[in-house]
Amino acid sequence: MLPDDHEYWNDYSFYDCPIPLLWTLKLPHVREAWGQAARDGVFRVQRSPVVEQFSVGEDLSICLADVRSHRSEEGFLRKPQMRLLENWARNLKTPGIVALCQPLIVEEGEVEKNLRNYEDQYCRLMNALGKSGHDVVLLTGDVHFGRVASVALTGGQRLIEVISSPMSNLTGLNGIATGTPKAAPERTVVWARDRKVIRELAHGLVDYYKRGRVRRFWDWFRRLRKEEGEFFVPTYQANPLAGYPKRRTAEHFMTVGFSKIPTAEVGLSVDCWLIRERDADGLPKRGFEKPFRAVLKRWNSPDLRKDSRADLAISSQ
């Protein structure tokens, strides 16, 4: 089980959070005691590795990376563990599955840091994923909304990002921390180490699977509203009388399935289940009208790589 800041405190390992209940973290003895208790839970109970890799036969390679517990001003991972994560991405022989506590298809965090705030390591990880020659699926959460989105990387293969968050929303004053799905950023970028943009990816436009979905006037008044993306988790209206001061993403979880298909490629399916909504059998209702499905490509064949580069050149003109 990978930890995020809720195993510690908001925006761990930093302690300048504006939440009044966390102001005592500015006291060194409070911060040390709180941090030690949290680390005991993560390392002794959850037994979370920093970077762990394993394979499912010759079909999938999986990497779990704790990008929360060892953060500093310099990065979200220490140097040896960052090299492990980069090497895994660069040397994939199959499609990859990577689990991180925060998304990669994001804009920089303003109040709390996300992975994009660490420009150097973010750039290195995105570049490494682009060198892998295979589609990669990212399983992640944290942002208080759920969605599926994808973007083509520098090598032409896709990064498919699956965000599932939250399973439970807070109420009252804490209810202002809710979120709704966002179709942002518009594209991904690659950063040089001197922190100057060196180029936008030729295929860098993010696909949020909007597919011409149009919001109608009366959608704003539905208790449970479908969002603009085909694979965005629905949202609830604000209801201050019930303790929810803001519109919020419906509480949900997602299931992800992989299957081997006759072409020797791997099929991906993602489904969403709404915790507070029930179907006729008393089971959670689906959050998507249909499951998200994709075929994870193996792009390391020289012919496929050549075709991919040609597609990139055409699309960027």
Structural domains of the chain, ranges and CATH numbers in brackets: 1-48 (no CATH), 49-251 (3.30.750.180)
**Pairwise CA distance, residues 9 & 190, whole Å:** 30
3-state SS assignment for residue 89 = helix
- Mean pLDDT over residues 236-242, rounded? 92
- Mean pLDDT over residues 210-234, rounded? 78
- Mean pLDDT over residues 23-41, rounded? 95
Residue 17 contacts residue 113 (beta carbons within 8 Å): no
pLDDT at 223: 82
Residue 158 bridge partners (DSSP): 152
Name the token pair of 230.
Answer: 């085909």
Name the token pair of 12.
Answer: 């761990």
The alpha carbon of residue 231 and the mean position of all alpha carbons in its chain are separated, in whole angstroms, by 14
Residues with Cβ within 8 Å of residue 55, at least 6 apart in sequence: 61, 62, 94
**Pairwise CA distance, residues 268 & 278, whole Å:** 25
State percent of the chain over pLDDT 90. 69
Where is pLDDT greater, at 296 or 313?
A: 296
pTM here is 0.89
Provide the CB-side half-sphere exposure for 295 (13 A, CA). Answer: 9
pLDDT at 317: 27
- What is the dihedral angle through the alpha carbons of 205, 192, 305, 295, rounded to the nearest 10 degrees? -50
- Mean pLDDT over residues 9-30, rounded? 91
Q: Is the pLDDT assigned to residue 35 strictly greater than 50?
A: yes
> Could you tell me where the DSSP H helices lie in the chain?
28-40, 79-90, 119-131, 302-316
Name the token pair of 171.
Answer: 């109420």
- Of 126, 128, 140, 147, nearest to 67 (Cα)? 140
**Pairwise CA distance, residues 37 & 15, whole Å:** 16
